[in-house]
Amino acid sequence: MKNTEQFKGQKILVLGLAKSGYAAAKLLHSLGAEVTVNDASPLENNAEASALLKEGVRVICGGHPTDLLDEDFTVIVKNPGIPYTNSMIQQAIEKKIPIWTEIEVAYQISEAPIVGITGSNGKTTTTTLLYHMLSIGNEKPLIAGNIGTVACSVAQEAKEENVIVLEASSFQLMGVETFRPKIAMITNLYDAHLDYHGNFEAYSQAKAQITAHQIDDDFLIYNADQAPVREIAARSNAIKIPFSVEGKKDYGISADEHEIYWNGEPFISRSVIKLPGKHNLENILSAAAAAILLGCEKSAIIDVLSSFTGVKHRMQFVKELHGRKYYNDSKATNTLATKSALAAFDSPIVLIAGGLDRGHSFEELRPYMDNVKAVVALGETKKRFAEFAQSCGIKSVEEATTMEHAVQLAHDLSSEKDIILLSPASASWDEYASFEVRGDKFIDAVMSL
């Protein structure tokens, strides 16, 4: 670790626990800070708070008393999930107390360079791709953030020879003050988390924080096919590495239907790529660009692209059975994600969709349903989704009672060379605790056929 003396004696409030708050509090306490932890959950049901209390950390549980801020804290380290409308945060802003998330702490102590990856979609897939490329290329990567271990826990173990591959959300990026990744990456920007940010402009500003403190020997890899991302890139001081899936470009990394190009020169044939879909091509280009900048061997990049079939529950190839290929895209909890999934395949699709009914329309999917030959609808939205599918001219539409039933119906409606795709366009909470549980049920049902 570097800069460890700076926290000694500082009065720091860690607001909200869970994994990130617990890790930050434990680290800052070990570095000599006067840490106070405040968490809304009562102490008796709060394992993290109880563990910190035993280590001598001051813990206040069961609510957020605003008079706590009268104690002249030098900084607040906030759990990313706590909104800025929280009364404690509002008071802290009025008092001009800096509000960080734990990735700021991670950056300040890390000896290793950081690759920071953000975007509306594709962060996890891109992070995973890059991590595997660097691992095979012997570049000693460590993975952190939403996909792996809490960033400040990874940073305290990292050495100069490591590279931290960090998936960063807009919630985390709102709480940075000096955070400066050596390589920053913006995969794309769509409307997301507007309940937290209020509007797209505020959401975009949060994402822009990934490059806000970069200087002229850092790198920004960005989606040149999207105007909002280009606008962020135009304000960056970093060396700009654009990526495009809209054909060969002379600079950065790009792709047409046959080839991936680096600075306009053929680099890797697309025939080696196993991961389907235009949206995944964006992830591949951005990960490959970062790997190249970090000195990764071309052979390592090819090894990953020729073997990687997807992150679990995100366009994950499950199995080929009786000439049909099964894909698990349970992470598609909205129509935007399902649009990308439907656009990924040329073969006829039997679509399994439906879930929690939030009253949202499926109309966005209509232009993407031409290649869908049959639909199996399930969950709370099954009747609405079945009616939507029929309005798209799909003749084979069934309603399922369980995931097992849905998979069997999909198999019965399919033919050789078809794709059977779980991409629900709905959240999972009508029947399942999470999209992961839903995806696992799908995998189990496929394996049981």
Return the CATH number at 286: 3.40.1190.10
pLDDT reading at 260 higher than 80: yes
Check whether residue 218 and residue 293 sit in a common domain: yes
Q: Sign of the C-alpha dihedral, residues 335, 146, 185, 248?
A: negative
For the domain that residue 378 is a member of, what is the CATH number? Answer: 3.90.190.20
Statement: residue 431 has pLDDT above 90: yes
Ranked by mean pLDDT, the top range of 1-5, 97-101, 275-279 is 97-101
Express each pLDDT in 161-170 by its tens digit: 999 999 999 9
Same domain? 267 vs 369: no
CA distance 40 to 54: 19
pLDDT at 210 over 90: yes
Q: What pLDDT is stored for residue 295 in this prediction?
A: 95
Pair 27, 83 in one domain: yes
- Work out the percent of the chain whose per-residue pLDDT is above 70: 99
Query: How many Å apart are CA 177 and CA 174, to the nearest integer?
Result: 9
321 shares its domain with 299: no
Confidence of residue 388 (pLDDT cuts 50, 70, 90): very high
What pLDDT, on the 0 to 100 scale, is given for residue 18?
87
Is residue 374, in this structure, part of any structural domain at all?
yes
Within a domain: residue 4? no
DSSP 115-174: EEEE-SS-HHHHHHHHHHHHHHTT--EEEEETTSB-HHHHHTT--TT-EEEEE--HHHHT
Alpha helices, H only, 2-101: 18-30, 47-54, 87-94
In this structure, is residue 279 part of a structural domain? yes
Instruction: Find the domain containing 249 and state its range.
Output: 103-305
SS3 label, residue 221: strand
Q: Are residues 275 and 345 in the same domain?
A: no
The stretch 425-435 carries a mean pLDDT of 93
Strand order from edge to edge, sheet including 58-61: 58-61, 34-39, 11-15, 75-78, 99-100
**pLDDT value of residue 81:** 87
**Residue 210 CA, distance from chain mean position:** 14
Q: Is residue 311 part of a domain?
A: no
Please identify, among 59, 79, 100, the residue that sits at the C-terminal boundary of a domain: 100
Same domain, 131 and 279: yes
pLDDT band at 198 (very low <50, low <70, confident <90, very high): confident
pLDDT in tens, 322-353: 999 999 999 999 898 899 899 888 899 999 99
Above 90 in pLDDT, residue 439? yes
Domain CATH code at residue 39: 3.40.50.720
Q: Which residues are annotated as a binding site for ATP?
A: 119-125
What is the average pLDDT value for the chain, to the nearest integer? 93
pLDDT, tens digit (0-9, with 9 covering 90-100), for 34-50 = 999 999 899 988 999 99
Dist. CA 423–CA 343, nearest whole Å: 12
Query: Tens of pLDDT along 261-285?
Result: 999 999 999 999 988 888 889 999 9
- Specify whether 226 is located in the same domain as 340: no
Whether 25 is in a domain gets the answer: yes
Question: Would you say residue 213 lies in a domain?
Answer: yes
Instruction: Domain count for the chain, please give it.
Output: 3
| 364 and 273 co-located in one domain | no
Whether 323 maps to a domain, the answer reads: yes
Averaged pLDDT, 40-61:
92
**Would you say how long the chain is, in residues?**
449
pLDDT of residue 166: 97
Per-residue confidence (pLDDT) for residue 410, from 0 to 100 = 97
Higher-confidence residue of 359 and 75: namely 75
Of 279, 305, 331, which one is at a domain's C-terminal end? Answer: 305
Q: At 381, list the tokens.
A: 């939205």
Final residue in a domain of this structure, among 66, 100, 134: 100
- The whole-number pLDDT of residue 320 equals 93
Shared-domain flag, residues 53 and 174 = no
Q: Which pLDDT does position 122 carry in this prediction?
A: 85
Which residues are annotated as part of the binding site?
Answer: 119-125
Residue 192 has pLDDT above 70, yes or no: no
